[in-house]
Structure 1
């Protein structure tokens, strides 16, 4: 199920990379900054040592989508920074404009492994929550229009 949901994220981001964001669509993507394949500037990791939420909305560039993850350049206080996020690091993926969201429960390296209770980890559809999570800060990019 995780692979299917991450495949959906890959498809959505791939479309955005080719055609841009349609209408009012925008994405809040929360990811684990401790994932070994996440790439971000040291100062961002220092500020977000556990998880980070980014917004793909008005200003982003060089969105590149691969089978393993995506890279994008985002603007943090007039400072463009490239980041790379593997799909395995994503914790939530939300499009509030259409009330769509995915949440991925924590998992081991192998998606097919069972958790402590003998059950496979789950991905679930979630209602978008307009309030930021306590450990993450949503960075508004409204003033940096494309």
Structure 2
């Protein structure tokens, strides 16, 4: 079997590490300036912990906003937990990074989108099952910019 570099999973891991770093900074220092986050996640992921009424209302995916009111933001290597306000009712959420589908900071037009491609009939495609894509901004998913690194080399 030929060995190949799994760029999709490597990019996925790097992008989740970026989200982890950003959330760790916010947990320690709060949100700077106008920054805020829209985080969409898969509510069917087995490690997602949300109230039953939220799971019933959002059976497949849910988008939460970290902006004006949130508390108890804790970040681990596997994900994060936070308490958000839903109609004046605080609800704790536990969201693993593997469940995150999009992470957007509209204040700076930055976004990440995680795509999953599956093909049960082809074993080679299983290695590429989770491909990652970075977009800027996320609202325009096909507006990515390619930057040459040559100008930064000495």
TM-score (norm 2): 0.76
Consecutive unaligned residues of structure 2, counting only runs of 5 or more, are 1-10, 141-154
Q: Structure 2 matches for 1:70-109, cutoff 5 A?
A: 70-106=80-116
* Structure-1 residue corresponding to 2:131: 122
Question: Among 34, 38, 41, which residue is 1:24 paired with?
Answer: 34
More RCO (CA 8 Å, sep 6+): 1
How far is 1:119 from its partner?
3.8
1:52–1:114 Cα change, 3 Å? farther
Tell me the SS of whatever aligns to 1:38: coil
Q: Structure 2 matches for 1:31-70, cutoff 5 A?
A: 31-70=41-80
C-alpha RMSD over aligned residues: 1.8
Consecutive unaligned residues of structure 1, counting only runs of 5 or more, are 131-146
- 1:115–1:121 contact (8 Å) kept in structure 2: no
Tell me the SS of whatever aligns to 2:130: coil
1:115–1:70 Cα change, 3 Å? same
TM-score (norm 1): 0.80
